[in-house]
Every structure is written in structure tokens, then in C-alpha cells.
Amino acid sequence: LGHGSGGEMTQQLLSTYIQPLFNNAWIDQAHDSATLPWGADRLVFTTDSFVITPLFFPGGDIGKLAIYGTVNDLAMGAAEAKFLSCSLILEEGLPLETLKKVLQSMAVAAEETGVKLVTGDTKVVERGKGDGIYINTSGVGILMDGQPIAPSRIRSGDQILLSGDIGRHGIAVMASREGLDFESALNSDCAPLNSAVSALIRGGVTLHCLRDLTRGGLATALVELAETSGRAIEVEESQIPVGESVQGACEMLGLDPLYVANEGRFVAFVPEESVDLASSILRETQVGSSCAKIGRVTDKTDAQVTLRNNLGCDRLLQRLPGEQLPRIC
């Protein structure tokens, strides 16, 4: 199960089982989407599957996630999503009403993000062999900008912008799934990121790399980027926005918000001279109103992420080995 957590085991699965078998220049980009040469345009292609319990949670549902997820993965490759496919795997006995609500939600999300859902497929599996609905979406988009945006473009001195406060999605889903009860209601951060990205590009910001934060949270995303770029990243704990209710819930649950999932947040690596422009543009967008400068890429070559905490101590961030395991003796 841990192989899907987005932590270390996912990485192992990818590098030991998948990449060696499907050896080509594009899979090795190790990014959420692949940029492909196609005539005059450059196509960007991505796919994602959505599995979540519960199907409806505060602030969203699986349908929205399925559209936003793929649109966001394309946006992280600086591509404008154009066409989507959608494949549904339904569990026998799923109320039609539920299916209808999910589809409606997908339609609204597609409309909102300007993407066309052009092909699809439906399969039904026996009762008990699925969690209601699984959705896979694939998407094709067109590069918005001439500049490639990828982990390999990360340079020392780059500043790291985080688009907003972290951890809402993971906590909202967990709270509604488990029936946890926190002081203030919490909504998932699930949101489309394409308009924020296009605003940055239209505004003339030089972008080196974009990454949406999903499973594994901010920490895992940064560790992955440090490893693929081969550079050391430093972040300041005090600069990372965490909402009060997420903080409270994490304290109760014993979770570290840095590792909690998000569905509408991203980090942008921009050169020093672009950072002020980028944050002023982001601040004007819906998803970026609470954006923050959280750290930078250093000139050290060890591929690691250090978090400077409020005491002034540096902690090394790691991928989680499967679930969070206590270390203290």
C-alpha cells in the first residue's frame, strides 16, 4: 500500500520497475507530464488516476479532483490543457444519483478550466472490488511559453514560492473520512492552477520549475525536486503558511503538515530577479492570495532539503519511508 503514498516506496516502484522497462527520453524527465515534439506545437501529455474515500468531502469531490488533477499536472509543465479523456471504473451497486453528481461536478470543473472532455470509457467491477468510483483522466495540452519548465532548469540562487497555505486537503479528507471533529470546519484546497500559471507566464515571469503538491505534501515534493535537480534546497519553517485549523488538527493527529496532501497548491522556482514580480502576480490570483517565499536553492551540490526551524536548527527533510514511523527511542 505504501507504494502509492508518494513517499520513498513510490519512488522505488518507479525507478526499479517502471523506468527500466519503458526506457525513453520522455519518461526519464521524471516530471508529472511529458513534453512531446509534434509539428510546430509542443504537446504536453499526462495521465492520472483518482482513488479517494470519501467520494465527497468538504470543498470538493472525486469528479473535481479528476479534472483539476490532470489540468494541474499539465499546468506544471507550463501547458494549457486542451483535451481530456476520462475512464470510469464503477463498483456494482453505486447509486446512480452519486454517479450523476460526480459527472456534473466534472462538467462544471471542465467548463471552469476551459478543457474539453472528448473521449471516455466505463467499466463496472463486482461489488466489493472498488470504492464506488475510480477515475482515470488523461490530458493533452499545448505549451504556453517557449521556455521549458522542468526540474532540470532549477539553478542555484532560485527562490522558492509556495502558492498558499498547506495541508487543507489531506486534513479535510481525513477528518470527513474518520469522523474527526475539529474546532473550525476545514475545506480541501482542491483548485485548478492553470490560470495562476498562465498569469505568471503572461506577466513575463521567468519560471524554472513548477510542481503541484499532492500526496506526500510539500516536503516530498521538495525532496523529489532536490534529487532530480541534484541541488540543495533550504526552506524556513516560519515562512511556510499553515492555517490555524490545519495546525491544530495536525497537532491532534500527530502529523507533520509538511507531509500532508494538497490538491490546489504548487511551488514555483524562479530566479531571484523574478521573485517579487512573481509573488505580486500570484497574490492577485484566486489560488495564490496567501503565497509566500519559503526558501531558496543553494550552491551546494548535495541533493537534500534542509528545514530551518524556529530555534534556528536545521533539520533534514526526507521522503517518508511508507507510513510515518516513530524514530525516537
Partner 1 sequence: MGIERRRIAVRGLVQGVGFRPFVYRLALNCSLSGWVANHSGGVQIEIEGKVGDIDQFLQRLPLEKPPHSLILKLKTEVLAPQASTGFEIHESKVAAEQSTLMLPDLAPCEHCQTELQDPQNRRYRYPFINCTHCGPRYSIVDKLPYDRANTAMSSFPLCAQCQDEYRNPEDRRFHAEPNACPQCGPQLQFCDAHGKVLCIQQEALHETLTSLANGQIVAIKGVGGFQLLVDANNVDALRALRKRKQRPHKPFALLYAALTAVRRDCQVSELEASLLTSSERPIVLLEAKPGVKIDDQVAPGSPELGVMLPASPLHLLLAEKYRAPLVATSGNLAEEPICIDNTEALERLGKIADHFLLHDRRIVRPLDDSVLRVVENRPLMLRRARGYAPLPITQAKLSQQAMAQPFLALGADLKNTVALSHSGWIYPSQHIGDLGSASAFERFGRTIEDLTGLQQRQPHTLIHDQHPGYSSHRWALKQRAPRLEVQHHVAHFFSCMAEHGHSGAALGVCWDGTGYDSSGIVRGGEFLYWDGIAKVEHIASLRTFPLPGGEKAIREPRRAAAGLLYEISGYIALQHRLLKCCFTRSERRNLITMLEGEVNSPLCSSVGRLFDAVAALQGLCSQSSYEGQAAMALEHSARGIQNGDSYPFALNAHGDQWELDWAPCINALIHDEGRSLPQRAAVFHNTLAQMILSVAREMGQPHIFLSGGVFQNRRLTESTSTLLREHGFTVHSHSQVPPNDGGIALGQLHYAHCMAAAGQTSEG
Q: Where are the beta strands (DSSP E) in 167-284?
A: 209-212, 233-236, 266-270
Task: Using DSSP, state whether 59 is helix, strand or coil.
Answer: coil
**302/258 Cα distance (integer angstroms):** 21
Q: Which of 111, 121, 183, 284 binds partner 1 (CB under 8 A)?
A: 183
Q: Which of 140, 255, 267, 278 binds partner 1 (CB under 8 A)?
A: 255
48 binds Mg ion (CB under 5 A): yes
1 binds partner 1 (CB under 8 A): no
Q: Which of 1, 40, 96, 325 binds partner 1 (CB under 8 A)?
A: 325
Cell of 300: 551546494
Q: Which is nearer to partner 1, 51 or 252 (CB)?
A: 252
Q: Which is nearer to Mg ion, 4 or 120 (CB)?
A: 4
Q: Which is nearer to Mg ion, 32 or 61 (CB)?
A: 32
CB of residue 95 to Mg ion, shortest distance in Å: 28
**51/53 Cα distance (integer angstroms):** 7
According to CB under 5 A, which residues from 290 to 329 bind Fe ion?
Answer: 329
Q: Which of 156, 180, 272, 286 binds partner 1 (CB under 8 A)?
A: 180
Q: Where are the beta strands (DSSP E) in the chain?
A: 34-38, 41-50, 56-57, 60-61, 79-91, 116-125, 133-143, 159-162, 209-212, 233-236, 266-270, 292-297, 305-308, 314-317
Q: Quickly tell me which residue has 517579487 as its cell.
A: 276
Q: Residue 146 binds what, of Mg ion, Fe ion, partner 1, none (CB under 5 to 8 Å, by partner type)?
A: none
Q: Which is nearer to partner 1, 21 or 325 (CB)?
A: 325
Pairing state between β 305-308 and 233-236? parallel
Question: What is the contact surface with Fe ion in residues (CB under 5 A)?
Answer: 329
Question: What is the contact surface with Mg ion in residues (CB under 5 A)?
Answer: 32, 48, 73
